[in-house]
């Protein structure tokens, strides 16, 4: 954007996101390239020209963008842990890097949403840079459970807790019961086929020596 300069100026110029860029200029003949601070605290480049105009380049501060914009888990039995889901964080600044110091959860059910993989904490994201966090759902009670992802970084808006997490806790599966009572005896089965008859007779051994008689059996 440009603003006209004629003599001493001390004022404010609206920025593209309703921020105000404070401009303090001594006089048209004394203008030089300089860095000024926006209300966000980040420097904006001010460049004068020979016609008495000042061009101000608004420096967007580091901001965290989320993709997707929310995370919802399907119903999960209490006492169990879901599969993980991923969210990608992006530094939306035009010039400033963003250093992520901590990723956690906030809200009434924050302990039921677990950071299973933190690929962002400790990273310095260049403008447009990205990192990924994975979250799992572990309900401890039934019904609707809600929390938010909490990002701590070096931006002026830290901590940022605008990413909603939600899920539903289902009743836990029941434990196996004790064995039931023994049932009544079953009906008598059919009679089997009659068995075969075995007939045995003693037999005498021939010869001079005394020998024990043998047995000769037949099956009928």
- The residues, any chain, with a CB within 8 Å of residue 129's CB and separated by 6 or more, are 90, 91, 97, 98, 123
| Closest of 149, 153, 174 to residue 162, by C-alpha | 149
- Per-residue pLDDT band for 54 (boundaries 50, 70, 90) equals low
Please tell me the pTM assigned to this model: 0.58
**Count of the separate structural domains present in the chain:** 2
30/83 same-domain check: no
Tens digit of each residue's pLDDT (9 = 90 or more) over 29-48: 333 333 344 334 555 556 66
Does some domain include residue 141? yes
Residue 23 has pLDDT above 60, yes or no: no
Rama region for 16: left / alpha / beta (φ>0; ψ in -120 to 50; rest): alpha
Does some domain include residue 185? no
82/155 same-domain check: yes
Tens digit of each residue's pLDDT (9 = 90 or more) over 80-139: 999 999 999 999 887 788 999 999 999 999 999 999 999 999 999 998 999 999 999 999
Distance CA 82, CA 86 (A): 13
145/97 same-domain check: yes
Q: Which domain holds residue 132?
A: 64-170
79/18 same-domain check: no
């Amino acid at each position: 954007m440009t603003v006209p300069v004629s003599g001493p100026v001390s004022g404010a110029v609206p920025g593209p996101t309703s921020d105000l860029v404070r401009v303090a200029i001594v006089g048209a003949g004394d203008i030089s390239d300089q860095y000024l601070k926006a209300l966000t605290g980040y420097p904006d480049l001010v460049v004068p020209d020979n016609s008495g105009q000042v061009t101000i380049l608004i420096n967007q501060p580091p901001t965290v963008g989320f993709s997707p914009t929310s995370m919802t888990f399907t119903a999960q039995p209490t006492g169990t842990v879901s599969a993980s889901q991923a969210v990608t964080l992006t530094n939306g600044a035009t010039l400033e890097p963003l250093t992520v110091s901590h990723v956690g959860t906030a809200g009434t059910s924050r302990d039921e949403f677990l950071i299973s993989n933190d690929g962002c904490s400790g990273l310095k994201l260049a403008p447009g840079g990205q990192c990924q966090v994975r979250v799992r759902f572990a309900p401890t009670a039934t019904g609707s459970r809600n929390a938010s992802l909490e990002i701590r970084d070096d931006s002026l808006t830290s901590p940022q807790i605008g990413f909603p997490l939600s899920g539903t806790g289902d009743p836990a599966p029941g434990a196996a019961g004790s064995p039931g009572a023994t049932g009544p005896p079953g009906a008598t089965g059919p009679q089997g086929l009659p068995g075969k008859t075995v007939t045995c007779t003693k037999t005498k051994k021939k010869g001079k020596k005394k020998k024990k008689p043998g047995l000769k059996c037949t099956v009928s």
